[in-house]
Amino acid sequence: MATNPPKGDGHRNGAVRGRSQTFNPKTGRWVKRDSDSGKFMDQKADDKPFKGVRKER
């Protein structure tokens, strides 16, 4: 993947690895999951998905 300047400005290039997210219809929030262990890690405080994390189908 190509990287555009400025380098080292603190933002991520590309997707987060080893993570996925799924929508919990019961709570109406997105939940982040570790791809290796399958355990749930985090839940969003609002109804928008996590940025840069792939979605499960």
Domain limits for position 35: 19-55
Question: Is 2 a domain residue?
Answer: no
pLDDT at residue number 3: 65
49: number of Cβ within 10 Å: 15
CA atoms within 13 A of residue 54's CA, in its CB half-sphere:
11
Question: Is 40 a domain residue?
Answer: yes
pLDDT exceeds 70 at position 41 = yes
Per the structure, the count of domains in the chain is 1
Question: Is 4 a domain residue?
Answer: no
pLDDT at residue number 11: 77
pTM: 0.75
Question: Is 28 a domain residue?
Answer: yes
Question: Is 1 a domain residue?
Answer: no
Amino acid making up residue 56: E
* CA of residue 14 relative to chain centroid, distance: 11
Q: In what order do the strands lie in the sheet with 29-34?
A: 40-43, 29-34, 19-24, 54-55
What is the average per-residue pLDDT within 15-36? 95
Of 37, 41, 35, 39, nearest to 18 by C-alpha is 35
